[in-house]
Amino acid sequence: MPTLRLRGRWLEQLGFVIGSKLDIRMRDGELVVSLARKD
């Protein structure tokens, strides 16, 4: 299974904290990672 691991304080500075839910999409050959909306 393909795996992608991102690490670093820069993620926290962008709002990606431990336990964050993510929205991962493919767009024009790129992976776009964003915080999932809180419903």
Q: How far apart are CA 15 and CA 7, in angstroms?
A: 13
Q: How far apart are CA 39 and CA 32, in angstroms?
A: 20
Domain boundaries, the chain: 1-39
According to the model, what pLDDT value does residue 33 have?
A: 96
- Look up residue 28 and give its two tokens: 């024009």
pLDDT tens-place string over residues 1-39: 989 999 999 999 999 999 999 999 999 999 999 999 987
Pick the CATH number of 1-39 from 2.30.30, 2.10.260, 3.40.50, 2.60.120: 2.10.260
Query: How many CA atoms, within 13 angstroms, populate the side-chain half-sphere of residue 32?
Result: 6
pTM: 0.70
